[in-house]
Structure 1
Amino acid sequence: MQVRALDHIVLCVRDVAATRDYYTRVLGMEPREERPGKWSLHFGANKISLQDATRSPSIARDTVPGSGNFCLLTDSPMNDILAHLEQEGVEIVDGPGERAGATGPIVSVYFKDPDGNLVEVSNKR
C-alpha cells in the first residue's frame, strides 16, 4: 500500500457551531452542512469534519475534544498571519519559528482552537 494524500481529518468538538464560527472567522474556511446536523470545514481541496462529542459514533467513542494537532499551509506572509490572529484575539502558543514540514522547511505559528486542539499555520521556506 502506498498512501498518496490526506483526504480529511476529523476534530471531536464540544460545540459544533462555535467551532464552525471560529474556523470560518479566524482561518477563512467554508462551513458546509453535509447532511442534517453534520458539518465540515472546507479550504482548497481539503476538509475538516466536525464530530460532536456528545454524539460520537461507536467507532470514535474514545475520541475527546482537544486531542487534535495539525498543520495548515498558507501563502500569506507570516506578519499578516500574526496581525490577523492578534485582531481576532487569538493567543499565540509558540512561534513563529522554523520547523521541518512534509516537503521541506517551514515557518510556523501555533495556537489553540476553542476545544484546545493545537493548530499550526505555516509558510514554506
Structure 2
Amino acid sequence: MALIDHLDHLVITCIDVEATKRFYVDVLQMRLESFGAGRISFHFGNQKINVHVRGAEFEPKAHLPVPGALDLCFIAAVPLDDVIEHLKRSNCPIVEGPVERTGATRKIRSVYIRDPDLNLIEISELI
C-alpha cells in the first residue's frame, strides 16, 4: 500500500491577488472561497489551491515562496477543443499546443497558458 493517496491542496504565491482571482475564477472557472483570517482559495473537483500574497504569506510557508515558479497540469471537465474556444473568448493566449503528452495515468492532449504571475498552466484531456 502506498503512503500517499491523493493531493488535497497546493499553495500558490501571487503578486496581485485581484488579477489572480480573475484568472482562476473567470478563465479557469474555479470556485472562489474565503476561509480563516482573510484567506482565499480556488476550488475545483475535490481539490483546492490556497493563495498567499508575496510578502504577506501565512505560516508555515514554503522555504522560498515565489510567484511564477509553478508548472501545474489540470485535466479539463470538457473536451480540449471547448477549452481552446473558451481561452480565445477570454483573450488568454495559448503558449503551446495542442500537443500530446504523458499524464499521470495515460496519454493526454494539452494546451499551455500562463497565469498573471507567469506560472505555467497546462490544461489537458485524457486520450
What TM-score, normalized to structure 2? 0.92
Aligned length: 125
> What residue number does 2:31 align with?
30
CA contact (8 A) 1:16 1:39 kept: no
Q: CA deviation at 1:58?
A: 5.8
- Give the counterpart letter for 2:30 in structure 1: M
Which residue does 1:115 correspond to in 2? Answer: 117
CA distance in 1, matches of 2:122, 2:50: 17
Corresponding residue for 1:7? Answer: 8
For structure 1, the 5+ residue unaligned runs are none
Between 1:84-93 and 1:50-59, the stretch displaced more is 50-59
SS of the counterpart of 2:48? Answer: strand
Match of 2:107 among 105, 108, 111: 105
Aligned to 2:21: 20
Compare the two structures and name the one with the higher helix fraction.
1
In 2, distance between residues paired with 1:72 and 1:58?
Answer: 26
Q: Deviations over 1:38-77 (max 9, x none)?
A: 1000011010011111212364352110011111011311
Q: Is the 8 A contact 1:107 1:123 kept in 2?
A: yes
**2 CA distance for matches of 1:75 and 1:33?**
24
Moved more, 66-75 or 102-111: 66-75
Query: Counterpart of 2:71 in structure 1: which amino acid?
Result: N
Q: 5 Å matches for 1:40-119?
A: 40-56=41-57, 57=59, 59-60=61-62, 62-119=64-121
Amino acid at match of 2:24: Y
Q: One-letter code of the match for 2:122?
A: E
The runs of 5 or more residues in structure 2 that have no matched partner are none
Whole-Å Cα distance in 1 between the matches of residues 61 and 28 of structure 2?
29
Please tell me whether the aligned partners of residues 19 and 114 of structure 1 are also in contact (alpha carbons under 8 angstroms): yes
